[in-house]
Amino acid sequence: MNDAPRVLHVSTSTKLGGVSEVVRSELPYLAELGWRTRWVLAHALDAAHDAAFVLHNGLYGARSEDFPEERVRRGVGHFLAANEAAVVAAARDADVVVLHDPLVLTLATAVRAVAPRVAWRCHIGSEDLGAIDRSAVEFLRPRLDVVDHLFFSDARQIWPGWRDDGRTVVVPPGIDPRSWKNRDLPDDVVDEVWSRLHAARGCSVARVTGEEDGRILVDDFGTGGLRHRDAPFVLQVSRWDPLKGQLGVLRSFARLADDDRETELVLVGPHIDDRRNYPANRAIWQGLMDARAELRPGTRERVHIWRFGPDQRTGEDLALNVLRGRARTVVQNSSRESFGLTVSEAMWKGAVVVGADTDGIRAQIRHDVNGLLTPYTEGDGPWPRTVLRSLTDEEGRARWGAAARAAVEERHLSRLGVLRQVAAFEGATGPARGRARPGPPAAGAAPDAPVPPAPPS
């Protein structure tokens, strides 16, 4: 009989986005520590997309209107009707259930009835605590009250009123250096992939990976590949999301192109499936295509917008590995970023990274030490000047790249986050039932003082 502890992860996707990246990277380490793992999908069906988007933006502090509680409640109702029974059935066999992000948190009350221990992991947040939609937090409060552990990515993003809650633990996301996205690749593999990828052509890498999904499928939608194999290029890898700032990158690159006649721009994102993606994802991608079409011809030919094909996880990961290794500079122009795994992944490759000076990006990049920071841009500001420096300062490039990899190795590998979670699970003394509810701060009260991250276990 196997009496190893069992942990169940629940998320709205097992393929797209940062949450799936985090869970995927942590499962092997949990297994190495003696935990049996299972990961189940709670589908964010069409009727729940709007509710998920509202909660997502509210906790990021990016809301644009009053909190539409009834609309969110209806969406959550559809989500629970579609997923509650299956998730509860899976939770009966788990010692710990980890719910990821706000929509999945709405399952907490039902899961609490059958699982010995329940955790919620918040992958969304901002250091600007005053901007966070308190109505979104209050909507989630009944579910927050019944969980045993609250995992936040950064101490500075813990909401006022929860900082002194004994359930709260800082668990920074991290990357798995052994994955196909992050491992060091032999030169012959890089050369084989790059011989086609630079031209926006796919290839099979199943021989290398041994995985059935080892194909690189890339579509340039007429934006073309690089003009030649060794062309220098600036790269941003992001999902098609209003918070990721790709349009600002494109507009700022048009200004950079006046001073740099050689460098090209590659914007890369995932396949868009309208059944699984937010409607805004397609709108962002289409807006980029439209903006590119308006550029003057000499610049337009240097801007490439690529989407990877569906259901080829391993091939896409290997392609991103090669892209980051070949890019002259990697940028991440997010207006909000609770952490920014794409920054960690690029820094691990020793890439020169220019990041928006915001939240989780600022927590990873020390300006002029292991990369460069510049204000978020919508096409204005110092972005072109900072990126131009990243392309031309050879002494700085060598220094930033070496320091970037060292910083990730010290603070942002998956093993650290797993150790903190396991320490919380194994050190807990009782369930959350009957726990006092933290309240919102009094009007005019100052935010709680920052809580320092826990030391590595």
What does the domain layout of the chain look like in residue ranges? 6-174+413-427, 187-411
What is the DSSP-derived secondary structure letter of residue 129?
Answer: G
Q: What is the model's pLDDT at position 278?
A: 66
444: left (phi over 0), alpha (psi -120 to 50) or beta: left
Q: Please tell me the predicted confidence (pLDDT) of residue 447.
A: 32
SS3 at position 111: helix
| Per-residue pLDDT, 373 | 98
Per-residue confidence (pLDDT) for residue 339, from 0 to 100 = 87
* 6-174+413-427 maps to CATH 3.40.50.970: no
Q: Where would I find the beta strands (DSSP E) of 153-301?
A: 168-170, 203-204, 215-216, 218-219, 233-237, 264-269
Query: Is 87 in contact with 109 (CB distance < 8 Å)?
Result: no
Q: Do the domains spanning 6-174+413-427 and 187-411 agree at the CATH topology level?
A: yes
Q: What is the three-state SS of 135-192?
A: HHHHHHHHHHCCCCEEEECCHHHCCCCCCCCCCEEECCCCECCCCCCCCCCCHHHHHH
> What is the structure's pLDDT at 139?
95
pTM, rounded to two decimals:
0.85
Q: pLDDT tens string for the chain (457 positions)?
A: 478 999 999 999 887 678 888 999 999 999 999 999 999 999 866 778 888 889 988 998 877 678 999 999 999 999 999 999 999 999 999 999 999 999 999 999 999 999 999 999 999 988 889 889 999 999 999 999 999 999 999 999 999 888 889 999 999 889 999 999 999 999 999 999 999 999 999 999 999 999 989 999 999 999 999 999 999 999 999 999 989 999 999 999 999 999 999 999 999 999 987 666 667 889 999 999 999 999 999 999 999 999 998 889 899 999 999 999 999 999 999 998 888 999 999 999 999 999 999 989 999 999 999 999 999 999 999 999 999 999 999 999 999 999 999 999 999 999 999 999 999 998 854 433 333 334 433 333 333 333 333 333 2
At the topology level of CATH, where does 187-411 sit? Answer: Rossmann fold (3.40.50)
Q: Which whole-number Å values give the CA distances from 217 to 61, 85, 189, 224, 354, in the listed order?
A: 35, 36, 17, 14, 27
Please give the distance of CA 291 from its chain centroid, rounded to a whole number: 25
